[in-house]
Chains A and B, each alone.
Chain A
Amino acid sequence: MKKTAYILLGISLLAFWSCKPKDEFDGPDLNDIYGDFLINQPLQISDDNLDFANGEVSNVTVGLSKNVNWRLEITGLQSGAKKIATGFDSQIQYTWDGTTTNLPMFHIESCALQLTFQNQLDTLRDTINVSSLRALEGFVLADFETGLNPGWDPFVQSGANMSFTIQTNNQAAQGNRYYDMGGTVTWDWLIGLLHIPASAYGQTTLPLDENASNVYFNTLLYKPESIDNGLVLFQFREDDNGDGVYTEGSEDLFSFQISPATEGWAQISKRYDQIVTLINGNEGAPIGNGLHEPNKIFQVSVLFLANPTSGYSQAYLDYMTFTSGSPVNP
Chain B
Amino acid sequence: MMKKSNTIYKALYTVALLFIFQMCFAQQEAKKVTFNGAARAQFFGDRYKLNAAEEDTITNAKLNSGNTLVDLGINIRPHSNMEIQGLVRIRNDYGGFWGAGVSFDVRQLYVKGVAGGIVRYQLGDINYKLTKYTLWNNNQEIISNTPAIFQQQTDVVNYDHFYSNDNSWRQQGASAEMGLVFSKYVKELNFYGVATRVKTSDFGQTNDRIFSGLSIQMLQSKYASIGWTATNTFDIEGTSRQNSTFHQPVVTMNANFKIPFSSFQNSIDIEAGKSGWFYKNLDAAPNLKGQFLDAELLSRHKATGIFGSVQLKYITSEFRSTGAQTKRTNYDAVPVAYQRITNNQDLRQITMLDLMRESSLYNMQLQTKLMAFSPQYDNITPYGDATPNRQATIIKLGYNKAGSPLNIESLIYTGSEVKGEGTKTFRTFRRSDTRAQLDLSEFRNDTTRVAEVSVSYRNDKTTRAGTEAIPSVDLNTQVWSIGADYEWSKNWHVLAGMQMISYNGFDFKNVRDQYGNIYNFTEMKTDGEEKMWALGIKHTFSTRSFLSIQYYNFELKQNTTDGQNYNFGQWMLLFQIKF
Contacts and interface: CB of A to CB of B under 8 A. Distances in A.
B293 A15 contact: yes
A19 B314 contact: yes
A8 B521 contact: no
Contacts of B519: 27-28
Dominant SS among interface residues on chain B: strand
A16 B420 CA distance: 19
A35 interface: yes
B421 A8 contact: no
Interface in B345-395: 389, 391
Given A25-B419, A25-B422, A30 B508 contact: yes
Interface in A1-41: 1-2, 4-5, 8-9, 12-13, 15-16, 19, 21-31, 33-36
A26 B389 CA distance: 10
B424 A23 contact: yes
Interface stretch (B100-108, B152-160, B218-226, B397-405): B218-226
B520 A1 contact: no
A31 B519 CA distance: 14
A16 B312 contact: yes
Contact of A25 (B270, B420, B468): B420
Contacts of B295: 9, 12-13, 16
A38 B316 CA distance: 35
B390 to A, nearest CB: 11
A39 to B, nearest CB: 16
A31 B471 CA distance: 10
A21 B415 CA distance: 12
B422 A30 contact: yes
Nearest to B312: A16
B419 A26 contact: yes
Contacts of B297: 9
B521 A30 contact: yes
B317 A26 contact: yes
B426 A1 contact: no
A4 B270 contact: no
Interface in A224-258: none
Nearest to A29: B422
B259 interface: yes
Contacts of A1: 220-221, 223-224, 257, 259
Nearest to B512: A27
Given A1-B257, A8-B270, A16-B312, A36 B224 contact: no
A43 B179 CA distance: 74
Contacts of A25: 419-424
B467 interface: yes
Nearest to A66: B469
A3 to B, nearest CB: 10
A179 B520 CA distance: 52
A9 B293 CA distance: 12
B82 interface: no
Given A9-B268, A21-B418, A22-B419, A31 B470 contact: yes
B418 A28 contact: no
Contacts of A30: 422-423, 470, 508, 521
B293 A12 contact: yes
Contacts of B419: 21-22, 24-26
Contacts of B517: 26-27
Given A27-B519, A31-B470, A5 B422 contact: no
Given A4-B257, A22-B418, A34-B470, A28 B312 contact: no
A142 B521 CA distance: 56
Interface in B437-463: none
A267 B230 CA distance: 56
Contacts, number: 103
B290 to A, nearest CB: 12
Interface residues of B, number: 41
Contacts of A4: 224, 257
Nearest to A27: B518
Given A1-B220, A8-B257, A24 B424 contact: yes
B406 interface: no
B273 to A, nearest CB: 12
Interface in B407-444: 416-424, 426
Given A4-B257, A16-B295, A16-B314, A27 B469 contact: no
A33 B466 CA distance: 13
A23 B424 CA distance: 6
Contact of A8 (B268, B416, B418, B510): B268
Interface string B504-537: 0000101000000111110000000000000000
Contacts of B314: 15-16, 19
A28 B293 contact: no
Interface in B153-186: none
Contacts of A24: 419-420, 424
A34 B220 CA distance: 57
B334 interface: no
Contact of A16 (B221, B293, B424): B293
B272 interface: yes
Nearest to B221: A1
A12 B423 CA distance: 29
Nearest to A21: B418
B255 interface: yes
B465 to A, nearest CB: 12
A107 B417 CA distance: 56
B391 A21 contact: yes
A176 to B, nearest CB: 46
Given A8-B270, A12-B270, A16-B314, A27 B521 contact: yes
Contacts of B422: 25-30, 33
A26 B420 contact: yes
Interface string B231-257: 000000000000000000000000101
B424 A28 contact: no
B470 A2 contact: no
Given A2-B259, A12-B293, A31-B423, A26 B518 contact: yes
A16 B471 CA distance: 31
Nearest to B471: A34
Nearest to A33: B521
Contacts of A23: 424
Nearest to B422: A30
A33 B270 CA distance: 41
Contacts of A19: 293, 314, 391, 418
Contacts of B223: 1
Nearest to B389: A26
B418 A5 contact: no
A53 B423 CA distance: 46
B521 A28 contact: yes
B382 to A, nearest CB: 15
Interface string B22-62: 00000000000000000000000000000000000000000
B223 to A, nearest CB: 5
Contacts of B257: 1-2, 4-5, 8
Given A24-B419, A31-B423, 17 more contacts: A1-B220, A8-B255, A9-B270, A9-B297, A13-B312, A19-B314, A21-B416, A22-B418, A25-B420, A25-B423, A27-B517, A27-B518, A27-B519, A28-B518, A29-B423, A30-B422, A36-B469
13 contacts: A5-B259, A12-B270, A12-B272, A16-B295, A19-B314, A22-B316, A25-B423, A26-B420, A26-B421, A30-B422, A30-B423, A31-B467, A35-B467
- Which 7 residue pairs across A and B have the least CB separation, nearest first? A27-B518, A5-B257, A25-B420, A30-B422, A12-B295, A22-B419, A35-B469
